[in-house]
Amino acid sequence: MSEAILEHNATGVTTDTQLAAPLLLSDEQVANFVVRGFHVVHTSHPRAFHQAIYDKIAKLPGNPGDGILDEVPELHQIYNDPAVRGALISLLGDHYKMNSHRHCHMNKPGTRSQDWHQDSTNLRHHQVRTVLGMYYPQDVSDDMGPTVVLPGTHFRNAPTDRMATYANFREQVVFDVPAGTVAITHYDIWHAASANTSNKMRYMLKFLFDRAEEPTQPSWNSDPATIDDTATRKLVFERALVCSQSDHYKERGLRYEMWNHLIGKTA
């Protein structure tokens, strides 16, 4: 499948081009997202392309907020990368939308960590309706204030104030990733920017993507012969992190609620 779009080249000039076919996820990968709440993809652009984006952001006079896409239109190419589009289609359906809110997070050297938090308020659900697409235009080492997420916490409806006494968790996942990585996370996952103790700036472009229609069937590369076995193996038996037994039992139910919505199975 290909479709015509307007693509911005490195100088910001728009040209007609074709989108490459999206690289859809497998049952295993979508079930893994349901269990853990995130999926990491690596875009296909050369390092020089990411460096050009980094340099352009570094020259901005301030943080443009939602206007970052106008200032750095090359970001369209990141979010139209076949691996990124494939993951977004798989998780949100064919007609997902880029949300009008986006932000360039600038983690300067010497910046202290954020506290663990979930975005927005605690009116939550157990479906995949919005995801974050976090793009890193530079290599991120573990001392550069990488984003940290806690697997499986997208099912936990926890007011951020009640997380204030947490610091490090044994099983937190650190996005110390190469330039060009896009980490796609469920909107509700617990996350934070860690401390930047290096002498390097760390940029992270956070874009939101929304589901536009209710699922009626898997929107990924699903195998009808094995999908049920895959779901059982992942959703019933896998642990995202160590927690109490009663939490794990409840987590299984919530995983199936999310999975059944994704495969279009109504109650």
Partner 1 sequence: MSANRKKIRQRILYLHAATPNIRSKVIGMALHEPVPGTITELSGQPQQWPYATVHDAVIDEWQIIQFPVQLAPFDDREIDILGYEFILQKLEEYDE
Binding mask 45-64 for partner 1 (x = CB under 8 A): --------------------
Binding mask 191-220 for partner 1 (x = CB under 8 A): -x-xx-x-----------------------
Site for partner 1 in 218-247 (CB under 8 A): 241-245, 247
Cα–Cα dist 140/146, whole Å: 6
CA 18, chain centre distance (Å): 24
Residue 168 binds partner 1 (CB under 8 A): yes
Question: 57 and 104 in contact (C-beta within 8 Å)?
Answer: yes
Residue 38 binds partner 1 (CB under 8 A): no
Cα–Cα dist 15/182, whole Å: 24
Nearer Cβ to partner 1 (194/230): 194
Cα–Cα dist 12/17, whole Å: 14
User: Which one of 1, 167, 225, 267 is in contact with partner 1 (CB under 8 A)?
Assistant: 167
Its sign, for the CA torsion 1, 92, 95, 15, is negative
Report, in Å, the least distance between residue 154 CB and partner 1.
11
- Tell me the number of residues near partner 1 by CB under 8 A: 44
Report, in Å, the least distance between residue 113 CB and partner 1.
4
The residues, any chain, with a CB within 8 Å of residue 263's CB and separated by 6 or more, are 215, 217, 218, 222, 227
DSSP characters over 21-54: PP-PPBHHHHHHHHHHSEEEEE--S-HHHHHHHH
Nearer Cβ to partner 1 (146/215): 146
Residue 40 binds partner 1 (CB under 8 A): no
Residue tagged 């360039």 (tokens): 104
Residue 216 burial (CB count, 10 A): 11
Residue 29 binds partner 1 (CB under 8 A): no
Positions touching partner 1 (CB under 8 A) are 112-116, 142-146, 148, 150, 153, 155-158, 162-163, 165-172, 174, 176, 190, 192, 194-195, 197, 241-245, 247, 250-251, 253-254
